[in-house]
Structure 1
Amino acid sequence: MRLKLIPVLAALLLSGCAPVQTVVNPTQLPAATDFGAHANPMEWWYASAYLPGDGLALHWAQFRVRDPRVPVPLMISHVAVTDLRTGELTFLEQSPGTGDAAFPPLRIRQGAWTLTQTGPEPTAPLILQAGPLDLTLTPLKGPVLHPPGYSGSADTGVLFYQGITRLALAGSVNGRAVQGQAWLDHQWGNQIPGQTALWDWFSVHLEGGRDLMVYRVRRLDGSVAQLIGSVVEPDGRVRAVSGLRAEPGEAWVSPQGREYTLGWRLVSDEFDLTVQAVRREQELLSRSTRIAYWEGPIEVTGMWAGAPARGQGMMELVSGAWTPK
């Protein structure tokens, strides 16, 4: 099969003709330090940041798709940058093609876009160079495996889930100097976005050093297959959230007619938090993955263990499959 056919095949695999699913056993969990590539149908590495001091929000995602009908793994990547001062949203994609993924240290490349770890240690800084992004991400905590170690269920497919929840960010975006904090995720398994599952995801850097992750996996009919949350303490210890509820609030309909919930109440045995999108117009329509999703910055306020709490982060809401006209 000639390589020039790969972009066409990849588009089919990610829209209506999903990769052949392999068995993923959620009881055999990986190590928290397992950042390398895997032989599963779906895998991605993801970095995001809300930089209120610079008036910016951004994310980068590198997807790696494997299918026995295609001779090599397919790489697809996204970069989105929102200038909160001007309201301009820039969304860039690299079409399906070849690339590299190696570990340790972590090295990912698709075309000129790269994520390169500067050493084999799990907390070695990472250099992200992708389109307008030229950033150094230095872990402030060690990697964690988010309890229970995966997202999804038997009927939606499962993605193992590990990452680094707080990294110091410094560098430039479109040549403009920036600094702040970032979040890094890595997931892999047999769940196919838009084909077997949808989700609502929240990452929050709380004042005082705690990090909160909430993940609500939905079936295509809208029913909730899984709701999980994790807290990463200032010293890096991770634990599951108990008694978690995610209550939808304010809804917004995009110009394309898709509805997204942009206001939420997250409640557990220890916190009661209100989540609000900073900006509504954050829908992204990906031609490379054929997925419509909302991705943008959030502000979080409320109570935690009886004391006022405040934080900032990013939210991702996956609407489903999208067919470009």
Structure 2
Amino acid sequence: MRLKFSPVLAALLLSGCAPVQSVVNPVQLPAATDFGAHANPMEWWYVSAYLPGEGLALHWAQFRVQDARLPAALMISHVAVTDLRTGQPTFLEQPAGTGEVASPPLRLRQGAWTLTQAGPEPTAPLALKAGPLELTLTPVKGPVLHPPGYSGSAETGVLFYQGITRLDLSGTVNGRAVRGQAWLDHQWGNQIPGRSALWDWFSVHLGDGRDLMVYRVRRPDGGVAQLIGSVVDADGRARAVPGLRAEPGEVWTRPSGRAYTLGWRLVSDEFDLGVRVVRREQELLSRSTRIAYWEGPIEVKGTWADGPVTGTGMMELVSGPWTP
């Protein structure tokens, strides 16, 4: 029997009307290989890719929400594809419903959308089939736990943060053959997006084989609750970024009044990087989660240890609740 969920209840749970639950201990960190489902209010799996050679940017997200008011875990999913040559974006959503999570090997399913791992090994290839996406994702590096192992704070709620920062991507998007590199994230805990926390997030594949993640968690009043960064070196080892600063620049304001900071300078004891968005019109208004966010491709350029460096990646900026 397929359970039916109230779309309004589902949206309220994801957009933050559920209370933050104290069920996460950031001192007891999970394994980097822990891809399966957890008994926490909020969890998601996320794949993103900027494919400069193909003129495409894309992301897929599978949310899983648990609450005492629901008879079973709730699943919601998003797919966004932007054709950068035509400027045509596509944003698809699967509304709240039941689904499947199993691991290892990892298997996620909501309706016809699936992410399936070929074997129990953490670096086994994954097949993603979701709307216009039919992709094979083959890890180039192993899973990592991003230092300090979680995003957020006691006041915003905490999400454990684990994933694979570089995967070879091949397959089709809207039937068109594509190749490139992707990024996979997995987070879970008691942080409620849009209500208890907002954020600015950057994932960058650098040309020298390093991967950079920067995460700025904001309180609803706009104050910064946490700023973290990690570098995954070419050999797959993850380490914290020392002396990190994220300096905001150009702000883009929508007619609605929602504002997104599209210009950034990322600075640390090791690097000084400027961030440039490839396309400004990347705001997404989710009816299933009732959250407004900006998600799109970026290019970075600057210095690392006094040498020049460039990179490409994705940026996500969460504005907050949105009412259709």
Q: What TM-score bracket applies, with the shorter chain setting the length?
A: over 0.9
Asked if the contact 1:47/1:182 (under 8 Å) is kept, the reply is yes
Report what 1:23 is aligned to. Answer: 23
Report what 2:289 is aligned to. Answer: 289
Distance 1:181 1:3 in 2: 37
Asked if the contact 1:19/1:41 (under 8 Å) is kept, the reply is no
Aligned-CA RMSD value: 1.0
By how many angstroms is 1:296 displaced?
A: 0.1
Q: Deviations over 1:229-262 (max 9, x none)?
A: 0000000001000000000011111243211011
Asked if the contact 1:63/1:76 (under 8 Å) is kept, the reply is yes
Report what 2:117 is aligned to. Answer: 117
Distance 2:31 2:16 in 1: 33
Distance 2:262 2:237 in 1: 30
By how many angstroms is 1:11 displaced?
A: 1.9
Report what 1:317 is aligned to. Answer: 317
Distance 1:123 1:4 in 2: 35
Question: Residues 196, 263 of structure 1: CA spacing in aligned structure 2 closer, same or farther, 3 A cutoff?
Answer: same
Report what 1:275 is aligned to. Answer: 275
Report what 2:210 is aligned to. Answer: 210
Distance 2:11 2:145 in 1: 31
Question: Residues 313, 16 of structure 1: CA spacing in aligned structure 2 closer, same or farther, 3 A cutoff?
Answer: closer
Report what 2:264 is aligned to. Answer: 264
Q: How does 1:168-207 map to 2 (within 5 A)?
A: 168-207=168-207
Question: Residues 305, 93 of structure 1: CA spacing in aligned structure 2 closer, same or farther, 3 A cutoff?
Answer: same
Distance 2:261 2:87 in 1: 20
Match of 1:280, SS state, is coil
Asked if the contact 1:275/1:301 (under 8 Å) is kept, the reply is yes
For normalisation by structure 1, the TM-score amounts to 0.98
For normalisation by structure 2, the TM-score amounts to 0.98
Identity of aligned residues (%): 83
Q: Where does structure 1 lack aligned partners over 5 or more consecutive residues?
A: none
Q: 1:304 corresponds to which letter in structure 2?
A: W
Distance 1:201 1:292 in 2: 15
Question: Residues 7, 98 of structure 1: CA spacing in aligned structure 2 closer, same or farther, 3 A cutoff?
Answer: farther
Report what 2:254 is aligned to. Answer: 254
Distance 1:249 1:20 in 2: 32
Q: Deviations over 1:67-98 (max 9, x none)?
A: 01101000000000000000001000000110
Asked if the contact 2:16/2:194 (under 8 Å) is kept, the reply is no
Q: Aligned pair count?
A: 323
Distance 2:273 2:216 in 1: 16
Report what 2:54 is aligned to. Answer: 54
By how many angstroms is 1:8 displaced?
A: 3.6
